[in-house]
Amino acid sequence: MMLIRGRVLSFHADPAEVEDSFIYIENGAVVVDGGRVAVVGEYANLRRDGVEEIDHRPHLILPGFIDPHIHFPQVQVIASWGAQLLDWLRDYTFPEEARFADADHAARMAGAFLDQLLNNGTTTACAFGSVHPGSVDALFTAAESRGMAMLGGKVMMDRNAIPAVQDTAQSSYDDTKALIDRWRGRGRLTYAITPRFAITSTPEQLAAAGALAAEYPDLPVQTHLSENLAEIDYTLSLYPQASDYLDVYDRFGLLGPRSLMGHAIHLSDREIARMAETGTRAIHCPTSNLFLGSGLFDEAGLRKAGVLTGVATDVGGGTSYSMLQTLNESYKVLQLRGQNLPALQAFHWATRGNAIALGMEERIGTLAPGSDADMVVLDARATPAMALRAERIETLAEELFLLQIMGDDRAVVQTYVAGRGMKPG
């Protein structure tokens, strides 16, 4: 048993919808037992003789950040100059992902990838692997050794890419089933069925992905939707019988409350209504959308229509591993949309909101008793510029907004995975 002391913040509802949406304890503590949260409360009521204490005052303790859309094989693609999506994939991403056929390279990148997440306070991510089954083995092996709750899957892609990163409809089905059999039920790992996107999958392969989704309805499905206008046009030329981009996936049984659609920017009213009807999630990737000039996410419109959303880094099209910087860019994207992103709503989105998007809110995303003790400790005075601004802060919301706009990995004092500190220092 261990007691972690500090200013504790955790959400139990969405601040955009419920006024009483969070708990905040100025002199608080989280008691961890067996890797889970035992109790949260006032420090004076929880301290016990003989219980190890870690004192993080005056810093904030929150649930660990969750990243629901990120590409593990793109750790050495991030910050590659690109025109737009399809050029960037062809010139940088596919050649880089070909390197993951090498098991040693995949293992090295897996460790580096997870260390980047943890240094930035992210304790769970839903990651795309490469086409190679060994990429998922490397990612899950590294995550298992760290005790992390990690989701991921090998991409299924059998056309419109260099041969080194293509599989076939049958091999993608067989490889995915083998990976599910190998990793299901191990540690805190979850396999995600992963057809990359409609452009790189034949109808036969999307049918194979749909068959997998039907066989394993408890597993998430992750792909991309309506990121870029040229991508949409190309998709519809490949699937002329589909009424729109979403309908491509719908025809193969790939929609539902376990389905995560990265980007989802340029959606028709019909697509939005169908996403709401099926419970399909839309995942906002602000730094990537700005970097590649893809477009502006309509958070308010999707919320009004009843579509659940998440917010993600999308490294390596995304430009930062930091969920704080991702929230920074989300704020700006929504400003350009004539919408807003208050700080309390932003931090809910990156924690409990993303847990709901992944269907994992019973285990992660909050500090509720019984949840996994994944936490991040944040310092709003981490840099001289932040400390100077912090002198004039009077409210919790102002402090969170400072972290949202100016924070990055330097603001992350410690990251806990199942109660174990993972950041050196």
List, in sequence order, the alpha helices (H) in 69-168.
85-88, 94-98, 103-119, 133-146
pLDDT digits (tens, 9 = 90+) for 218-242: 999 999 999 999 999 999 999 999 9
- Give the SS3 label for residue 23: strand
Q: Specify the pLDDT at position 425.
A: 60
pTM: 0.97
Structure tokens at 57: 């005052």
Structure tokens at 295: 């477009």
* Cα torsion 68, 71, 76, 79: sign: negative
How many angstroms from the chain centroid is the CA of residue 30?
Answer: 24
pLDDT digits (tens, 9 = 90+) for 23-59: 999 999 999 999 999 999 999 999 998 999 999 999 9
Residue 4 has pLDDT above 70, yes or no: yes
- Return the percentage of the chain with pLDDT > 70, whole number: 99
Q: Specify the pLDDT at position 79.
A: 77
Q: Are strands 2-11 and 22-33 parallel, antiparallel or unpaired?
A: antiparallel
How many angstroms from the chain centroid is the CA of residue 328?
Answer: 15
What is the largest distance, in Å, between two alpha-carbon atoms of the chain? 70
Q: Specify the pLDDT at position 93.
A: 86
Structure tokens at 6: 């500090």
List, as one string, the DSSP characters of 188-251.
TEEE-BEE--GGG--HHHHHHHHHHHHH-TTS-EEEEES--HHHHHHHHHH-TTSSSHHHHHHT
How many angstroms from the chain centroid is the CA of residue 123?
Answer: 10
